[in-house]
Amino acid sequence: MDDGIDPHQLERAAHCLRTIAHPHRLRMIEMLAVGEKTVGALARGCDIKSHVASQHLRLMKDRGLIHSRRDGRRVYYAIAEPGLLPIIQCIANRYRTTVEGDGEVET
């Protein structure tokens, strides 16, 4: 008989979900799902300043969700936790907006 997920593991899952539960961090994960990006690219994609993007990235990196690599003076970020990909896909499937006719329609 399945007793479900261990309560300790559920606490860890909730901690992870609280970390990504921010519009900028979700957008960054969405962008990183297609490949590694620099802080500047992520900041532009979120329409925020680079230092603010760096703070979000540092938090996600400290939690083991993303990792970075240096190439000369540039630092590239990528997803380290493969479980983020189905989460962001689920969110995209539920909240993606498509354009139909003259207006936008949520799908």
Q: What is the pLDDT of residues 66-86, one digit of tens each?
A: 999 999 999 999 999 999 999
pLDDT at position 107 over 70 = no
pLDDT score at 54: 97
Residue pair 56/22 in contact (Cβ under 8 Å)? The answer is yes
Q: What are phi and psi of 75, to 5 degrees?
A: -115, 125
Domain map (residue ranges) of the chain: 13-94
Q: Is the pLDDT reported for residue 101 higher than 60?
A: no
Distance of CA 39 to the CA centre of its chain: 13
CATH says 13-94 is which class? mainly alpha
Find the mean pLDDT for residues 95-102: 62
* pLDDT digits 0-9 by tens, 23-53: 999 999 999 999 999 999 999 999 999 999 9
